[in-house]
Amino acid sequence: MNFLIFLVILTVSFIVVRIGAIAFELTGLEWSLAKFQALSCFTGTGFTTKEAELITGHPQRRRIASVLIVLGHAGLVSLIATFANSLRPDDLFSKIQIPFLNLNLPSSIEPWIKLLIIILFFYLLYIIFAHSKLAKKITQLLKSRIVKNELIKPVSFEELVVSTGGYGVSSIEICKDSPILNKSILESELRKHDITVLAIERNGEIMPNPSPEQKILLGDRLICFGKLGTIRKEICVLN
């Protein structure tokens, strides 16, 4: 029984990390970074100083990280508690007979067989959640459920690069509530907030280094450099 419980807890841990990654992505993190941060929080290994502000400086992400850290500690304790017991001989394996020899499985090798099964099961989960088409379907299903139940409200920007001092590059889609909608870059006064518009993506076309007179329209995606917290505040209204 402990052996099966251990496998179940291991599976749930993978699912929780994937849900955490989805939640981080919905708040605007790039997918690979979202997966890394979710795994870091769940395992308690932490994250780099450059990326820390992406989590600590964002209220919604702080809540996600807090839940992952709590669940990670609980999951780790459960895995440790059940791992040792899962390797002990039990009735399930004692009934297994060796073919052609009419002998029951020796109890001395049972722990090694269970350990091998655990390693193979872990590798199978890793393959499923890391590379398979099934993982994509699971991710899309979980994402749709999270959005449908409004557990996480998705945002319309993505933080691409983080540099020292909280500065980085963000890709922001202009929403209808944006304070700079229908204003020119000059009228938006973004430069006063130390925000530089590097490019504008409109209808699939990129306008690099746009002029100050360029008007910002609904649906435009701005590639900006500046302090990430200031960019979020000045360009896109977040709930």
- Give the DSSP per-residue string, 126-144: HHHHHH-HHHHHHHHHHHH
| pLDDT category of residue 102 using cuts at 50, 70 and 90 | low
Spell out the domain ranges in the chain: 2-148, 157-235
| pLDDT category of residue 238 using cuts at 50, 70 and 90 | very low
Q: Measured in Å, how far apart are the chain's first and last C-alpha atoms?
A: 45
Nearest CA to 160 among 55, 30, 37?
A: 30
Nearest CA to 158 among 69, 231, 83?
A: 231
- 154-169 mean pLDDT: 66
- In this predicted model, what pLDDT tens digit does every residue of 127-153 receive, in sequence order? 888 777 778 888 888 888 887 777 776
Q: What is the pLDDT of residue 59?
A: 76
The domain 157-235 is placed in CATH, from the list 3.30.365.10, 3.30.70.1450, 3.10.310.10, 3.40.50.1260, at 3.30.70.1450
- In this predicted model, what pLDDT tens digit does every residue of 164-187 receive, in sequence order? 567 888 888 888 888 899 999 999
Q: What is the pLDDT of residue 52?
A: 67
